[in-house]
C-alpha cells in the first residue's frame, strides 16, 4: 500500500490576516497594483513553504484567491455580467472587485453560503455571453510553485458540475448552450496544466454529495466522459467533501484516476458504499479522515483504525491521507494562542496542527514501526482531560435541557391576535422603517475599544464614549425620521463573540481568524463547556438608548442557532442539546429586556439555514430542534412585546415554511441581490407575518437611489399586504462608512414616504 499526505486546500489569509490587510489597503488606494500583487504573492508562497516545512508530500495550488475562488473561476471563463461593461481579455482588478462588491454604476453579483458552511461565495451569472479563457489562473499558480520551490504541485479548481450547478441565469432552454461553452474551457485548462507538467489535477465537486436524480447523474457522466476524451493524459482527482458521495455505484465508474471522499461528515454513507460496492482497483482513494471543519484534536487511534477499515474495504492501491475538506474553514495555528485554558488548548488542532496529524499518520501507515504509539496516547489523554473539565459538569443546565416541554416553545397567543395587540400598543405608521441593528464601527470606535481592552482606557471613560456614540446615532436616526431605532451596537465586536463573552462555557482566541466573505474575517468562539446566563448582557445599553428617545428602540440579540453555527462547538454533546442550553440562557436575557421596558426585541438567526443537512431528506430533524431553539428563547414574552428576527443570504424559495414556523412577529431578510427570486417564491408560497425584504445591499459601498429602493418596495407589495411590510437595509451596517450609511438611509426613508403617500392616495381615491 502506498500512502501520500496532501491537502484539499489551505487557509489564505495569513497568520496575522496579512491578506485582508493588503486587500483593504488596496481598496483604499494605499497600495499600487504592483505592490498589492507583490504582497499577495508573498503570502501565497509562504503558504506553500509552510506545507513543505510541515512535511506534506503533495502540495496543493490554485486554492489561493484575491477575493473568492468561485469568482476567480467565473471571471477566468469570461462570465462577467454585462452591467460591468467588460470588453474582453484578462479581467482587470477594477472589474474583478466591482463584480464582487459593486461600483457606482452597477450592483454586485449575488453572494450566498458555500454549502452548509459560514463562508459566502460570489454567484456566477450566465447571460448568454460568449465564454472565453481570459487567464489560466491555476496554471499560473502551478508554474509559480514549480519555479520557486522546484515542486510539481497538485493544481485545484472548482469542478465543472459544481460550477455549472452554482451558476445562475440559464434555464432549460439555455443550459445546453451554457454547458457547450463551458466544457471546452475546462478542457483547455486541463490541457495547459498537463502540458506544463502537472501529474495530478484536483477537480472539486462538492455538489456530488447532494441528492442526485437520474438526469443529473447522466449529466455528470457526460461531462467527465467529454473531459476524459478531450484530455486523456490528465490524471484527475475528483474531490468531494461535506458529505458522502451520492449515487456511488454509478459515479465511481467515472473516467477519473482518483476519488476524494469525506470520511468525517460522510463517514456513514461512504463506508456503506465501500462495503456494498467496493472501490475501483485502478483508482487512487483520497481519504478525508481529519476533520477540516472543526478545531478539535483528532483521536489518532480512532483515525488510524478508520484508515485500516478503509484499506480492508477498498483494497485501493494507493491512499491519500488528507483532511475532510479545505482547511480554510479553520484558523491557521494554535501556537499564537497563549491565553487559553491549558486543558482546552491541548485539545485543539487548527490547520497547521491538522497537517501534523496527517503527516504523522501517513508516516505511521508507511513505516509501521510503532513510532507514533505515544502520540496516539497523547491525543486520547488530551481529549479525556477536556471531557472531565469542571466546565462540562453543570448538572443544573443538563437537567434544565432534559425537562424542556412543548409548552416552552409556544407564545401565549397566535400571531393574528398578537398582531392586533401590537398594532395598538406600538402605533407605528404604514411601512415602518428600521435598520438591522449595527451602525458603522468607525476607527474611533475601534481605537477606544482596543485601548479599553489593553487597559489604557478606564471602564468609566469607555462607557462614557459608548454612551456618547449611542446618543449621537439616536439623534441621527431621529433626524432621518426612522420609525424604530437601534442603539448601534458600538460595544460589540462580533455578533456571536459579544454574547459568548457574557455567557459561561465559551472560550475566545486572539488570532484564530477565518474568512466569512470577501475580506471579512471572524474569530468564532469556542463552546467547550456548559452554557448558562450569568447576568444581563444587553439591558444596560438598550435601556439607555430608550431613555434618549420617545420612539421605540429595539433590543438586539443573536439567536441560539446562529451562536451555535457560528462557533466551534464541543463534540461530546449533540448540537441540539448545546442549542437548547444557549436558548435557555437567551430566554433569560429576553425576559430581562422586556422587564426593562423594551417593547421590540430582535433575535437574529442569520445562520439558521446553514446548519441544514446537505440532503433535503435529512432536513426534518435539524429543523425541528433549530426552530424550537429560537422559540425556546423567545416565547415567554407578553403578546404586546414584538419579536423580530433577521436572516442573511440563503435560498429562501424552499425555506418559507421553516421561517414561518419560527413564529416571529417580524422577519427581515437579506435579499437585495436576489430580490426578484424571492418575489417569485412568495407568489407561489405566501408569507403571512410581518416581513422586511432588505431594500438595499449593505455589502457594497455604493449608495442606491431613492427610485431604486422605491422600485424594490413596489415589487414587494405585489406579494405582501401593506400591513405586513417593513422597510430596512438587508443587513447590519457595521462595515459601512458613516457618510454612505446616512445617505443610503435618507434615500430609504424618502422612498418609504413616497410609497406611503402613493398608497394613501390610491386608498382614498
Residue 140 confidence (pLDDT): 98
Q: Is the pLDDT of residue 494 over 60?
A: yes
Q: Is 44 labelled a binding residue? A: no
What pLDDT score does 374 carry? 64
Domains annotated for the chain, with CATH where assigned, are 2-388 (3.20.20.210), 414-759 (3.20.20.210)
- Neighbouring residues of 474: CB distance < 8 A, sequence distance ≥ 6: 485, 487, 545, 548, 549, 553
What local confidence, expressed as pLDDT, does residue 511 receive? 95
User: Is residue 113 part of an annotated ligand binding site?
Assistant: yes
Task: Using pLDDT thresholds of 50, 70 and 90, give the confidence band for residue 715.
Answer: confident
Q: Is 355 annotated as a binding-site member? A: no
Query: Residue 650 annotated as binding?
Result: no
Residue 329 annotated as binding site: no
The residue behind cell 463551458 is 182
**DSSP per residue, 592-613:** HHHHTT--EEEEE-TTTGGGS-
Q: How confident is the model at residue 241 (pLDDT cuts 50, 70, 90)?
A: very high
Q: Residue 647 has what pLDDT? A: 86
Bridge-partner residues for 520, per DSSP? 517
Band of pLDDT at residue 477, cut at 50, 70 and 90: very high
**DSSP annotation of 261:** E
Q: Which of the four pLDDT bands, split at 50, 70 and 90, describes residue 675?
A: low
Closest by Cα among 127, 144, 136 to 178: 127
740 is in an annotated binding site: no
Residue 650 pLDDT > 60, yes or no?
A: no
Look at residue 373 in the predicted model and tell me its pLDDT. Answer: 63
Is 357 annotated to bind a ligand? Reply is no
Positions marked active-site: 699
The DSSP string of 127-171 is -SPPP-----HHHHHHHHHHHHH----EEEEE-HHHHHHH-BS--
Sequential DSSP letters for 71-102: HHHHHHTT---GGG---SSSPPHHHHHHHHH-
Query: What does residue 380 show for φ and ψ, rounded to 5 degrees?
Result: -65, -40
pLDDT of 763 > 90? The answer is no
| pLDDT-derived band at 760, boundaries 50, 70, 90 | confident
Q: Label residues 310-346 b or e (16+ Cβ within 10 Å = b).
A: bbebbebeebbbbbbbbbbbbbbbbeebeebeebbbb
Find out whether 670 is annotated in a ligand binding site. Answer: yes
Provide the whole-model pTM.
0.90
Nearest to 745 by CA among 709, 714, 716: 709
Look at residue 718 in the predicted model and tell me its pLDDT: 85
Q: Which of 423, 436, 365, 356 lies closest to 672, judged by CA?
A: 436
Task: Please give the Cα distance from 423 to 408 (Å, whole number).
Answer: 25
Is 436 labeled as ligand-binding?
A: yes
Distance, CA of 516 to CA of 71 (rounded, Å): 15
Whether residue 574 is annotated as binding a ligand: the answer is no
Alpha-carbon gap, residue 150 to 274, rounded angstroms: 37
Identify the bridge partners of residue 176 per DSSP, sorted by sequence position: none
Please give the mean pLDDT across all residues of the chain: 94
Beta strand 526-527 pairing with 318-323: unpaired
Q: Is 566 annotated as a binding residue?
A: yes
Strands 60-61 and 520-522: unpaired
| pLDDT tens by residue, 128-153 | 999 999 999 999 999 999 999 999 99
- Whether the per-residue pLDDT at 614 is higher than 60: the answer is yes
Statement: residue 501 has pLDDT above 80:
yes
Q: Per-residue pLDDT tens for 247-278? A: 999 999 999 999 999 999 999 999 999 999 99
The answer to whether residue 558 scores a pLDDT higher than 80 is yes
Amino acid at each position: 500500500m502506498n500512502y501520500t499526505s496532501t491537502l484539499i486546500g489551505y487557509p489564505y489569509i495569513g497568520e496575522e490576516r496579512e491578506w485582508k490587510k493588503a486587500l483593504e489597503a488596496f481598496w483604499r488606494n494605499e497600495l499600487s497594483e504592483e505592490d498589492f500583487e507583490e504582497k499577495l504573492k508573498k503570502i501565497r508562497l509562504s503558504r506553500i513553504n509552510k506545507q513543505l516545512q510541515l512535511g506534506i508530500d503533495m502540495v496543493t495550488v490554485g486554492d489561493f484567491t484575491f477575493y473568492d475562488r468561485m469568482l476567480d473561476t467565473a471571471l477566468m471563463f469570461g462570465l462577467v455580467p454585462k452591467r460591468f461593461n467588460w470588453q474582453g481579455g484578462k479581467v482587470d482588478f477594477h472589474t474583478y472587485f466591482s463584480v464582487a462588491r459593486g461600483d457606482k454604476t452597477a450592483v454586485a453579483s449575488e453572494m450566498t453560503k458555500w454549502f452548509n458552511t459560514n463562508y459566502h461565495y460570489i454567484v456566477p451569472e450566465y447571460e448568454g455571453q460568449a465564454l472565453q479563457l481570459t487567464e489560466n489562473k491555476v496554471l499560473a499558480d502551478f508554474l509559480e510553485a514549480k519555479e520557486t520551490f522546484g515542486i510539481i504541485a497538485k493544481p485545484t479548481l472548482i469542478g465543472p458540475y459544481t460550477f455549472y450547478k452554482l451558476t445562475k441565469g440559464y434555464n432549460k432552454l439555455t443550459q445546453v448552450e451554457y454547458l457547450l461553452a463551458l466544457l471546452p474551457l475546462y478542457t483547455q485548462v486541463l490541457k495547459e496544466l498537463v502540458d506544463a507538467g502537472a501529474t495530478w489535477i484536483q477537480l472539486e465537486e462538492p455538489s456530488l454529495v447532494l441528492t442526485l436524480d437520474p438526469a443529473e447523474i447522466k449529466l455528470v457522466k457526460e461531462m467527465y466522459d467529454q473531459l476524459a476524451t478531450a484530455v486523456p493524459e490528465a490524471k484527475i482527482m475528483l474531490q468531494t467533501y461535506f458529505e458522502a458521495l451520492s449515487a456511488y455505484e454509478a459515479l465511481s465508474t467515472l473516467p477519473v484516476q482518483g476519488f476524494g471522499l469525506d470520511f468525517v461528515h460522510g463517514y456513514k454513507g461512504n463506508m456503506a458504499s465501500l462495503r456494498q460496492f467496493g472501490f475501483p482497483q485502478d483508482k487512487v482513494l483520497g481519504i478525508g479522515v481529519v476533520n477540516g471543519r472543526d478545531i478539535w484534536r483528532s483521536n489518532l487511534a480512532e483515525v488510524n483504525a478508520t484508515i485500516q477499515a478503509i484499506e480492508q474495504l477498498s483494497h485501493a492501491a494507493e491512499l491519500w491521507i488528507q483532511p475532510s475538506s479545505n482547511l480554510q474553514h479553520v484558523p491557521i495555528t494554535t501556537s499564537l494562542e497563549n491565553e487559553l485554558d491549558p486543558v482546552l488548548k491541548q485539545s485543539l488542532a487548527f490547520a497547521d496542527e491538522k497537517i501534523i496529524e496527517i503527516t504523522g499518520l501517513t508516516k505511521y501507515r508507511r513505516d509501521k514501526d510503532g513510532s507514533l504509539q505515544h502520540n496516539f496516547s497523547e491525543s486520547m489523554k488530551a481529549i479525556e482531560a477536556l471531557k472531565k473539565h469542571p466546565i462540562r459538569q453543570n448538572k443544573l443546565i443538563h437537567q434544565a435541557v432534559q425537562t424542556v416541554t412543548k409548552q416552552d416553545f409556544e407564545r401565549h397567543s397566535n400571531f393574528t391576535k398578537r398582531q392586533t395587540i401590537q398594532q395598538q400598543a406600538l402605533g407605528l405608521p404604514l411601512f415602518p422603517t428600521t435598520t438591522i441593528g449595527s451602525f458603522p464601527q468607525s476607527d474611533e470606535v475601534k481605537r477606544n475599544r482596543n485601548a479599553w481592552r489593553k487597559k489604557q482606557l478606564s471602564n468609566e471613560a469607555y462607557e462614557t464614549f459608548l454612551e456618547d456614540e449611542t446618543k449621537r446615532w439616536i439623534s441621527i436616526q431621529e433626524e432621518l425620521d426612522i420609525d424604530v431605532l437601534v442603539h448601534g451596537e458600538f460595544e460589540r465586536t462580533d455578533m456571536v463573540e459579544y454574547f459568548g463573552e457574557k455567557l459561561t462555557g465559551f472560550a475566545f482566541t486572539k488570532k484564530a481568524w477565518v474568512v466569512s466573505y470577501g475580506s471579512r474575517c471572524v474569530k468564532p468562539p469556542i463552546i467547550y463547556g456548559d452554557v448558562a446566563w450569568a447576568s444581563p448582557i444587553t439591558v444596560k445599553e438598550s435601556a439607555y438608548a430608550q431613555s434618549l428617545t420617545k420612539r421605540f428602540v429595539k433590543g438586539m440579540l443573536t439567536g441560539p442557532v446562529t451562536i451555535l453555527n457560528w462557533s466551534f462547538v464541543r463534540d461530546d454533546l449533540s448540537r441540539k442539546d448545546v442549542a437548547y442550553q444557549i436558548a435557555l440562557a437567551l430566554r433569560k436575557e429576553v425576559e430581562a429586556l422586556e422587564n426593562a421596558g423594551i417593547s421590540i426585541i430582535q433575535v437574529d438567526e442569520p445562520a439558521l439555514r446553514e446548519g441544514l443537512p446537505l440532503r433535503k431528506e435529512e432536513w426534518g430533524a435539524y429543523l425541528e430542534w433549530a426552530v424550537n431553539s429560537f422559540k425556546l428563547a423567545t416565547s415567554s414574552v407578553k403578546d404586546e412585546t414584538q419579536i423580530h428576527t433577521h436572516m442573511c443570504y440563503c435560498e429562501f424559495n424552499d425555506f418559507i415554511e421553516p421561517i414561518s414556523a419560527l413564529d416571529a412577529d417580524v422577519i427581515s431578510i437579506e435579499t437585495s441581490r436576489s430580490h426578484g427570486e424571492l418575489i417569485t417564491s412568495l407568489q407561489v408560497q405566501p408569507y403571512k407575518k410581518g416581513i422586511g425584504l432588505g431594500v438595499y445591499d449593505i455589502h457594497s459601498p455604493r449608495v442606491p437611489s431613492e427610485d431604486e429602493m422605491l422600485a424594490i418596495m413596489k415589487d414587494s407589495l405585489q406579494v405582501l399586504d401593506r400591513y405586513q411590510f417593513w422597510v430596512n437595509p438587508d443587513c447590519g451596517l457595521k462595515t459601512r462608512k458613516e457618510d454612505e450609511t446616512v445617505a443610503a438611509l435618507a434615500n430609504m426613508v424618502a422612498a418609504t414616504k413616497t410609497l406611503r403617500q402613493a398608497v394613501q392616495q390610491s386608498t382614498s381615491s
